């Protein structure tokens, strides 16, 4: 299953890149994130593998994230004319996901975050969910983006309002 979602953020691209790539900010906008720790390498660098843990209600999901593309290599010094690419593969029990993010300068105080997701599942139940309810995955991705937008533009922390 593949889909693409995007959102416009009312901040300069450099500021968006700084906020989105700082692991200290992740729990503030990435709903349910319990842990994101590099197992090797440095956070956000090509080839780095991290352990990622999410908690939603009583459901806990652990996965391994591997950074597969960072372009340009130093995200923070990219000229505004360059599209920033940040790609990862995430593997967990019964699932694989490729996440390809593009952060695009759309004006002096506007950034577009475009995210393409691809999922593959091993288990029959998740395959059926993906087949018959693909909107659930798209909705979750859009919610993460909206949470990031609220955090970036207004300082809204999802931990303060978990609904």
Q: Is the pLDDT of residue 116 over 90?
A: yes
Provide the whole-model pTM. Answer: 0.87
Q: Read off the pLDDT of each residue in 83-99 and give the average, rounded to a whole number.
A: 91
Q: Which fold does the domain 2-154 belong to in CATH? A: Alpha-D-Glucose-1,6-Bisphosphate; Chain A, domain 4 (3.30.530)
Which of 160, 150, 134 has its CA nearest to residue 4?
134
Q: Is the pLDDT of residue 134 over 70?
A: no
Residue 155: per-residue pLDDT:
94
Residue 163: per-residue pLDDT:
63
Q: Is the pLDDT of residue 22 over 70?
A: yes
Torsion of CA 5, 124, 129, 145, to 10 degrees: -30
């Amino acid at each position: 299953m593949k889909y693409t979602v995007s959102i416009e953020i009312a901040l300069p691209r450099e500021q968006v890149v700084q906020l989105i790539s700082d692991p200290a900010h992740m729990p503030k906008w990435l709903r349910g994130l319990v842990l994101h720790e590099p197992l090797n390498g440095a956070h956000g660098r090509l080839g780095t593998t991290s352990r990622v843990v999410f908690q939603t209600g009583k459901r806990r999901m652990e996965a391994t994230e591997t950074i597969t593309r960072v372009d340009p290599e130093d995200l923070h010094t990219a000229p505004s004319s360059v599209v920033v690419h940040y790609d990862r593969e995430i593997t967990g029990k019964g699932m694989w996901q490729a996440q390809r993010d593009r952060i695009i300068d759309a004006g002096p105080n506007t950034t577009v975050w475009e995210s393409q997701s691809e999922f593959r599942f091993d288990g029959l139940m998740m395959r059926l969910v993906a087949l018959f309810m693909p909107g659930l995955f798209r909705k979750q991705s859009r919610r993460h983006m909206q949470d990031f937008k609220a955090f970036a533009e207004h300082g809204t922390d999802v931990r303060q309002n978990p609904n």
